[in-house]
Chains A and B, each alone.
Chain A
Amino acid sequence: MSKSKAPWILMGPFLILFVFTMVVPIIIAIVQSFMTVERKGLLGEEGVTSQFAGLDNYIAALTNPNFTASIGRMLLFGVVQVTVMIAAATILALLLESAAAKWPGLFRSAYFLPYGIPGVIATILWSFLYVPGLSPIVDVLGMIGIEVDFLSPGNVLWAIANIVTWTYTGYNMLIIIAQLKSIPGELYEAAKIDGAGPWRIVTSIQLPLIRPALMLTIIFSIIGTLQLFAEPRILKLVSTGITSEYTPNMSAYAYAFQYNDIGMAAAQAVIIAVVAFVLSAIALGLSNRGKKGGRTR
């Protein structure tokens, strides 16, 4: 009896926190996404009623051009930024795992270091490098005749992409390195005996075998992109190009806390979560299939 209770007692602290900070809020959000609040009179003094709204909030969210534009913007961002970041992470991982690499441990930590800096702090630091009049980069480019405004409405998306790339390239690199390290040594030996050069080893052995890790990092990066919030929210302070519904999460935040339309915010949050959930499922499916393929080789 006491043995059967032990796991529950040990899990208790976690379960309580998990239920009250994750499960309950999620259920409240789902319930609220189907509700609207209606107010009568000048300022609601003649009665406030909360009522079931069916899919009204979802329809309103998906027909809100600012919200759909923010999703589109994040997809564009994802296509460009994730490609650049994963390519960079792969190249760094391959270089650090090549036999010729000097001090791989030092460089691995150095590339990983930006991930340890909170997004808010990183954005504040980068904003000093973007702001005209403060930024040495803008000054130097101006001296050689190139006038750039990193924070203009057209460029600011890529200014955010740069911060995200800087933060997460090292992190993704580590995941790829972990997979590279799991490639058995005899494969390399066999390749060398067959006369494969370094380039041939990369294209025929390393890249095919790290495919699961690549898929994982790509899909998780796309999900991360969809949830972008801190970087644009902070950069909004110095750029006029970022509107209050610039990313899907900023839109949900605006509806919840600025527009006081909790139902709509909840519906947006559910939509973001569903998209992220679908992408996660695809990621897991792909990585599992990759693993099976590896074993039955």
Chain B
Amino acid sequence: MPQNRRPHGPTRRALIAGGAAAAVAAGAAACTATGASTVNSGPTIPPAEGKVQLTYWAWLKDLQKVCDVFNASQDRIQVDANWIPSGDSGGYAKILSAVAAGGGPDIAQVELRQIPEAALSGSLIDLSRYGAAEHEGLFDPSAWSQVKVQDQIWGIPQDTGPSAFFYNREVLEGELGQTPPATWDEFKELAGVGTEAGKKILSLDPSDGSVMNMWAMQKGANWYQPQDGGWIVSMADDASLQVAEYWDGMIAEGLVGTSFAPFSAPWMAACGSGDVFGYVGGSWADALIEGVPGGSGKWAVAPMPRWDDGYASGMLGGSSAAVMANSKHPAEALEFLIWMCTDPAGIDAMIENSGIGWSPAKDYIGAVREKPSEFSSGQNYNTEVIAAMAAGQNLDWVWSPVTQRANAALGDGMNAAVTGTKKLVDVLPEVQDKVVEIMRKIGLDVEVAR
């Protein structure tokens, strides 16, 4: 039946060679596509004449409902929201890949700390070229300062995380008979009292370096400062080293838990049983702490403990909505974002549907947040505590162009500190060297502060 003859079509070898040639061409094209765009140097894109459809990728819950409020308020701009996994859980991978491939959304959620790094990757549009600076007065200064690098504006702040001390009042005041600590020295004493009773004032995730940023910026450190066309890095200044020394002491004396991360399942269980009775971090923690089993009516909020110098609070978390490099409608995207992030209707919709962190708008914290909280047994902590934390921020802080690497290196250092092989006071200079080396390797002009 079958004649065993060679097919006359393309030979196997020719086909493979052809495929390889096509693939090399595709590969070369992919290489030039990565981040080499002129979107921030060429002419700006003028506003569109007719109707505009915008896509918005974010991991905010029910964001479409927020967009719908805007969509119903006018008929020129329609915004479609798409849910993506949160940044480090795959969201950034998705955004970066889509933009590198020449597509992606008009707007995407980018954490505040991630903004310079995302800008460096060529994924964002500099909104200062579209008149974003005119709207500065509508925003809380602590929110606005986080999206700026010199005069460049790389996103619109969508929420922030001014830090405070969240605590289980029943344990801290009831069982331990203490009051919330006003200073870091008092915080350490309280941690000691808790440890003696078999309880931890907080549980650190030693692999998460972001908390060290929060501690340092509160003390007045400014790790990354843009100057002229380059960066000045100072991760090992006096303020930072004092903070490192303090936490070296806390870790060495076993005053903080280090075996599970805040808001992880074991943390929730430990908070439910009272074994962990506090947390220092962004205001958005309130919504997560409401998930502590049996926690209703027990938790309260106090200001972040202070140093003699520095600021009232640091910043942990918070996001921006950034306009992506491949967007055809940056002007319309900016218009929508200014509405969403400053208009009381936008803020209230974001709080109600998406449960955002602290409002980025000036003088408007959201209608529901002006009322006392049921979970915190009637304490009106947003107006009493968090508002002051937001007002007491280090406005000079600028995020790193290599935040992920810096935080990973800090996390490695904290892990080493927890296992007792290093001290944080030695980790900071080491991380600084590493960060400077990485920044130089990608071509940036860097100096170490003296």
A residues with CB within 8 A of B: 1, 3-5, 7-8, 19, 23-24, 27-28, 30-32, 35-46, 48-50, 66, 127-128, 131-134, 149, 151-153, 237-245, 253-254, 256-262
Contact = CB atoms under 8 A, between A and B. Distances in A.
A40 B120 CA distance: 10
B442 A4 contact: no
B442 A37 contact: yes
Interface in B121-141: 121-122, 126
A128 B269 CA distance: 12
15 contacts: A4-B5, A23-B20, A23-B23, A27-B23, A31-B27, A32-B30, A38-B443, A39-B443, A42-B226, A44-B35, A45-B40, A50-B36, A133-B272, A243-B412, A259-B405
B266 A24 contact: no
A254 B89 CA distance: 11
Given A50-B34, A149-B259, A256 B93 contact: yes
A66 B412 CA distance: 9
Complex A-B, nearest 10 residue pairs according to Cβ-Cβ distance, in ascending order: A133-B269, A4-B7, A257-B93, A38-B443, A31-B27, A28-B27, A27-B23, A24-B23, A258-B404, A43-B119
Given A31-B27, A149-B259, A240-B206, 18 more contacts: A3-B2, A3-B3, A24-B23, A31-B31, A39-B443, A41-B444, A42-B231, A45-B152, A50-B31, A50-B32, A131-B260, A133-B265, A133-B266, A133-B272, A153-B419, A243-B207, A257-B96, A258-B408
Contacts of A8: 7, 9-10
B31 A35 contact: yes
B53 to A, nearest CB: 28
A259 B419 CA distance: 26
Interface of B: 2-3, 5-10, 19-20, 22-24, 26-28, 30-32, 34-37, 40-41, 88, 90, 92-93, 96-97, 116-117, 119-122, 126, 149-150, 152, 204-207, 226, 229-231, 258-261, 264-266, 268-270, 272-273, 401-402, 404-405, 408, 411-412, 415, 418-419, 441-444
Nearest to A24: B23
Nearest to B35: A48
B150 A42 contact: yes
A243 B411 contact: yes
B29 to A, nearest CB: 9
Contacts of A5: 7, 9
A43 B32 contact: no
Nearest to B414: A240
Contacts of A244: 207, 408, 411
Contacts of A41: 229, 444
Contacts, number: 179
Nearest to B28: A31
A23 B149 contact: no
B410 to A, nearest CB: 11
Contacts of A240: 204-207, 258-261, 415
B19 A19 contact: yes
Nearest to B263: A237
Given A19-B19, A243-B411, A27 B27 contact: yes
A43 B126 CA distance: 11
Contacts of B119: 43-44
Contacts of A133: 265-266, 268-270, 272-273
B430 to A, nearest CB: 12
Contacts of A31: 24, 27-28, 30-31
Contacts of A128: 265
A258 B88 contact: yes
Nearest to A237: B264
A106 B201 CA distance: 52
B120 A1 contact: no
Nearest to B293: A133
A254 B444 contact: no
A42 B149 contact: yes
A46 B93 CA distance: 25
A41 B3 CA distance: 67
Contact of A132 (B10, B121, B269): B269
Contacts of B441: 36
Contact of A151 (B7, B260, B270, B402): B260
B260 A238 contact: yes
Contacts of A19: 19, 22-23
A38 B266 contact: no
Nearest to B269: A133
A178 B41 CA distance: 65
A8 to B, nearest CB: 6
Given A152-B259, A153-B415, A44 B122 contact: yes
Contact of A42 (B7, B9, B27, B230): B230
Contacts of B264: 131, 237-238
A125 to B, nearest CB: 13
A130 to B, nearest CB: 9
Nearest to A42: B226
B24 A27 contact: yes
A28 to B, nearest CB: 4
Nearest to A8: B9
B9 A131 contact: no
Contact of A257 (B9, B92, B204): B92
Contacts of B259: 132, 149, 151-152, 240
B408 A254 contact: yes
A28 B22 CA distance: 11
